Structure 1
Amino acid sequence: MSEPEEELREDAAEKKKREKRSWRRKKEKREQDEEEQVEQEEQHSEGVVLRGIFKLGKKSHDVLLTRTRLTWTPIIPETPTAGEACAVQPGVLLLQDVFAVKVKRRRGAGQQSGGAVLGVALFCCRRRGRKLEEDTLQLHNASAEHTHAWYNTLSELIAGFSSRPRYVKVFINPSSHKKEAVHIYREHVAPLFKMADVRTDITVTERKGHALSVMKECKLDEYDGVVCVGGDGFVAELCHALVLRAQLDANSPENPVKSSLPLGIIPAGSTDVVSCSVHGVRDPVTAALHIVLGHLQDVDMCSFSSHDQLLRFGFSAMFGFGGQSLARAEKKRWMPSSRRREYALVKTLARLRPEDCQLSFLPAKRSTSEQADHRDQSPDLEAEQTWVTKQGLYLSISIMSIPCLSPHVPRGLAPNTSLANGSAALIAVGNTSRSEFIKHLKRYNSSSGQFSFSFVEAHTVSAVRIRPWSLPAAWSEEESEEEEEEKGDPKTTPIIQSEGAAFPWNMDGELVEIPNEVLVRVHQRLITLYGEEVEEVESNASCSCI
């Protein structure tokens, strides 16, 4: 053997020794990391509950179960290949993201029960930004005893999440938007409820106010939550019903009372601003997963009253342009919803005119902790604060206690408002030209700038009072009058005033006509919704308002 060949063989042997030493060091480090992970879990009172071997895919894994998580690490043979020698990061699944556990079995065609045990399936959710998606983790093991021990333990741990509902009252509005609410519930929501063993009592509403009448009579103590499938108007009706029912049960007709039952919102409307504000996306699967996982979010609400008479509870109200455009849209219910909105928007812009009114508001306190101690401010407490009063012509006045996100306005109509800070956004748009007003509306499509006009005021408030000075116009004018205006001089068409006429308001997407002043009060954390607060929504949606 020549000297070069001997040197090559020695180099190969030395290289093999170095690879073995490297693999041994990596193995020792991996074992050390696993031991440290177990020690950390035990230090946090999360000691290993179960440990076993399962196959994930085609590879065997060492699976550890604690009270909060499941971790799995591939089992590497004594003499691993080059690819297996590298350090392996264990997989992790938090039990808070698991909503169902099932035993997997092999069954023949037509076989409804029994079958050989194959392992355990964990049904969970995975997050893609604000969107939640259904996912499944398959743990394969043919031992029936081993599988059932894991199934029973996992089921017990998952049942320990007390906020998860077991029995819910479901209201479906079949008339919402494109009349898809029943289909959305059956296709996207019902299968998840069945998988999570959530029992349901379903009411398909037949008329406006049907859900409110049912809520006043039904035995709410039987349920863990209420679910509504519909648009913003339907959501507001259910929220209003829950608070009224809480007042009735507490024998407190004067003061709002927080409902003991949370409300889940499955979006099935045209804008779904409440659902978007608490979920971040307009997606029925995301909404259903928030419900089955028991994600709870306290949310502020407003009370709307006139002359000491409660009108309703809700989240937003628009006076002026918002109310006028909705009033025109309601007259064209025979049109498709998108066309109806476009028609009302263009028509209201064409006949744009301000309302003469007195605007008064209470600036919100800076300290949220102080607000929490005075969740429902009494009239005496309000009297001690200083009302700011202004008189003038306003094209639009909006009050919103939530951000009011939607696919059309991805940053929200009130982007600086959170869900539970005890305040609302007051946005008052003074009299200006039509072109400047349109520029203001278009700015809602961008990240900022909609409030940077001299005629726009934005305030953070705890109460608002709007007192119109001009007489209300009758918003039920005939089509012939609109056609006459389109043909000729609009100055020749008078504003028709009649007995019983009222100003149109847009309250949570519902038309409410009120002839007198309106008082709006913010009530902190008045209702609990299934969802999570949206801190920042990343969206490429474009605004189709203009």
Structure 2
Amino acid sequence: MSEPEEDLQEEQRDSTKKKKKKEKRSGKKKKQKEEREQEEAQQQVDEEEEERSECVVLRGIFKLGKKSHDVLLTRTRLTWIPITPETPTGEPCVLQPGVVLTAGRVRGEGEAAASGRPAVGGAVLGVALFCCRRRGRRLEEDTLHLHNASAEHTQTWYNTLKELLAGFSSRPRYLKVFINPSSHKKEAVHIYREHVAPLFKMADIRIDITVTERKGHALSVMKECKLDEYDGVVCVGGDGSVAELCHALVLRAQLDADSPEKPVKPVLPLGIIPAGSTDVVSCSVHGVRDPVTATLHIVLGHLQQVDMCSFLSQGQLVRFGFSAMFGFGGRSLARAEKKRWMPSSRRREYALVKTLARLRPEDCQLSFQPAKTSTGNLFEHRDEDQDVKQDPESEGEESWTTNQGLYLSISIMSIPCLSPHAPRGLAPNTSLANGSAALIAVGNTSRSEFIKHLKRYSSSSGQFSFSFVETHAVSAVRIRPSSLINWSEEESEEEGDSKTTPIIQSEGAAFPWNIDGELVEIANEVLVRVHPRLITLYGEEVDEAESTVSCSCI
């Protein structure tokens, strides 16, 4: 081929390349232009929506304290700006404006928690707007007084505020309240009367109260009552009462939907007023054990979707719940339950020390399905004496991973389980609604090492940084004890003192489980499944609880 022909072909190739590059650039520019246009259109829609929401509904002059303010009301907030008189030098006074949100989350200084009310008796002097303010994780009640001598002006503001606040559908108007008078120090009735009832009254919330008389009373009431009359259910009690009502809500939803096999999400949300000894669920959704904070979350309609677990044995439902402990947690609770005559704090200390003194591993088969969103277990260690294999019984889903070995404790938790004694939670690597549960398996080790692991829950992080601790994000767990036993308070001292000697039990008896702080005895294997966002609770998720622990003693 001659040089001119080669040059011509090379020019053609260069021309083709340039043409392709130009088309590619043109296509890229066209795509970028379309994306910009979409962003501009969305931004315009957002601005129009914000403009509609921020459009001034009312404006007027009111006195706040001794100073006059220019008060503006939009559909989302109430703003007041001081009317600044000139000083003798002619310079304006600089005063800080104030804001109260009337909708959405608490973003500014406060949020309207109840309807405004004109003064009762005599001339109408103004409007009182009941609000709440955030102090860390706590919500505190407050009142904003807007004074104006014009009865007609005040009535207009009052009616408009009532109309705006009534338009927020998430805020309840009629609640079914269950009070457990036996919770903890029997303070539930007092807590409700002193802290909860006044706030419900200010918010114009009607209530229907049931004071429970026995275990299972709330469950029986929930099966029969007409739930369509209510906007929500409220529990005033400890973790046991909360667990019973959560279980009852899901069961009732299954009954109404005629779905006995598949869990159904309840229509009504549950509000939790802490009145127990630990209040793990309340701390997980509020961050504090404070009845006022919990009540204000209910009044304001703050809703949080929460995962739950189902616990089944031999194909039969045992209950729905948030957490379960097998081994050390179950045995210490069983010992505590046998000393109900003791004060609660002494009873827990006795059971803890006694169980540690007779610490023995459980010989069982632990199987689990990794959660689909899981990035793998957090600590890749496995004990050398554990046999790891793939379980052929996959039940038509992902394969199961099975470990056979000795375990001191196995915990399954679908929520962080925050408490004042464990501010970061018993399961800090999970959240309220991530669609998975934390599996924490503590293998066989010495008593001193196990105590170090327990102490770190309250004193610091790193409770899982031990070679004998495994953690996994799971969607299902199955625990199959190698032998079933006859466990009693007066265990024989001849069982052996070796830490590697598992507890041997006789046929026909049951293992103690700690499910949401309640003792449940199960004689067979247990299957635990996670059900994402199965229940709605009043509250906001927090990363860490407010701690009241001054020391970490075991």
TM-score tier after normalising by the smaller chain length? 0.7 to 0.9
Equivalent positions of 1:68-467 (< 5 A) are 68-77=76-85, 79-81=86-88, 85-96=92-103, 97-105=111-119, 114-366=121-373, 383-467=396-480
Distance 1:489 1:55, change over 3 A: same
1:62 matched residue in structure 2: 70
Partners of 2:356 and 2:436 in 1: CA distance? 30
How far does the alpha carbon of each residue in 1:352-390 deviate from its partner, in whole angstroms, 9 at most, with x for none? Answer: 00000000000011289xxxxxxxxxx999623121100
The offset of 1:544, in angstroms, is: 4.8
- Distance in 1 (CA, whole Å) between partners of 2:302 and 2:253 is 22
Is 1:511 the equivalent of 2:519?
yes
Cα distance change of structure 1 residues 499 and 207 upon mapping to structure 2, 3 Å threshold? farther
CA offset at residue 115 of structure 1? 1.3
CA shift in 2, pair 1:448/1:544, >3 Å: closer
**Do 1:133 and 1:286's aligned partners in 2 also have CA atoms closer than 8 Å?**
yes
Given that residues 116 and 161 in structure 2 are in contact (C-alpha distance below 8 angstroms), is that contact kept between their aligned partners in structure 1?
no
SS state of the match for residue 211, structure 1? helix
Displacement, 1:102?
3.5
User: Contact conserved, 1:228 with 1:234, CA < 8 A, in 2?
Assistant: yes
- Contact 2:284–2:415, Cα closer than 8 Å, also in 1: yes
Distance change (3 Å), C-alpha of 1:155 and 1:545: farther
Whether the 8 Å CA contact 2:425–2:544 is kept in 1: the answer is: no
Quick one: which amino acid aligns to residue 436 of structure 2? S
CA RMSD of aligned residues (A): 2.5
How many angstroms apart in 2 are the aligned matches of 1:187 and 1:393? 49
Contact 2:477 2:528 in 1 (8 A): yes
- 1:473–1:495 contact (8 Å) kept in structure 2: no
* Distance of 1:499 and 1:83 partners within structure 2: 93
Report the CA distance shift for 1:61/1:443 in structure 2 as closer, same or farther (over 3 A).
same
Match of 1:21 in 2: none
How far did 1:446 drift?
3.6
Distance 1:382 1:262 in 2: 32
SS at match of 1:213: helix
Q: Structure 1 residues 437 and 150 mapped into 2: Cα distance closer, same or farther (>3 Å)? A: same
Q: Which moved more, 1:527-536 or 1:253-262?
A: 527-536
Contact 1:163–1:295 (CA<8 Å) still a contact in 2?
yes
C-alpha distance 452-155 of structure 1, shift in aligned 2 (>3 A): same
Q: Write the distance in 1 (CA, Å) between the matches of 2:170 and 2:90.
A: 44
State the secondary structure of the residue aligned to 1:240. Answer: helix
Q: Which runs of no fewer than 5 residues in structure 2 stay unpaired?
A: 1-46, 104-110, 376-391
The alpha-carbon deviation at position 498 of structure 1 amounts to 5.2
How has the CA–CA distance of structure 1 residues 363 and 87 changed in structure 2, closer, same or farther, with 3 Å as cutoff?
same
Letter in 2 for 1:74: P
Q: Could you tell me whether the CA contact under 8 Å between 1:103 and 1:147 is conserved in 2?
A: no
**Percent identity of the aligned residues?**
84
Given that residues 171 and 204 in structure 1 are in contact (C-alpha distance below 8 angstroms), is that contact kept between their aligned partners in structure 2? yes
The alignment partner of 1:116 has SS state of coil
Q: Give distance in 1, aligned partners of 2:552 and 2:80.
A: 47
Residues 353 and 231 of structure 1: CA distance in aligned 2, closer, same or farther (over 3 Å): same
Distance 2:553 2:238 in 1: 18
Conserved? CA contact 1:319–1:397, under 8 Å: yes
User: Deviation of residue 189 (structure 1)?
Assistant: 0.5
Q: Does structure 2 conserve the Cα–Cα contact (< 8 Å) formed by 1:41 and 1:48?
A: no
Instruction: Tell me the CA shift for residue 219 of structure 1.
Output: 0.6
Equivalent pairs counted in the alignment come to 483
Offset from partner CA, 1:47-73 (integer Å, 9 cap, x none): 111110001111111111111001111
TM-aligned CA deviation for residue 326 of structure 1: 0.1
Residue identity in the other structure for 2:196: V
- Determine the C-alpha separation between the residues in 2 that align with 1:431 and 1:83: 80
Distance 1:543 1:159, change over 3 A: farther
Structure 1 stretches lacking a partner, 5+ long:
1-38, 106-112, 369-378
CA distance in 1 between partners of 2:291 and 2:91 (Å): 41
Structure 2 counterpart SS, 1:384 = coil
TM-score, reference length from structure 2: 0.83
Q: Which residue of 2 aligns with 1:4?
A: none
Indicate how the Cα distance of structure 1 residues 42 and 416 shifts in structure 2: closer, same or farther if over 3 A, else same.
closer
Structure 1 pair 42–353 and aligned structure 2 pair: CA distance change class (3 A): closer
Q: Aligned letter for 1:528? A: T
Question: Does structure 1 conserve the Cα–Cα contact (< 8 Å) formed by 2:483 and 2:505?
Answer: no
For 1:246-293, what per-residue CA distance to the aligned partner results, in whole angstroms no more than 9, with x for missing partners?
A: 000000000000000000001111110000000111110111101111
Residue 59 of structure 2 is aligned to residue 51 of structure 1: yes
Instruction: Please give the alpha-carbon distance, in whole angstroms, between the structure 2 residues aligned to 1:92 and 1:356.
Output: 61
* C-alpha distance in 1 between matches for 2:231 and 2:409: 40
Aligned counterparts of 2:194 and 2:408: Cα–Cα separation in 1: 43
Shift of 1:542: 3.9
Query: 1:136 Cα shift?
Result: 0.7
Question: Does the CA-based 8 Å contact 2:330-2:512 persist in structure 1?
Answer: yes
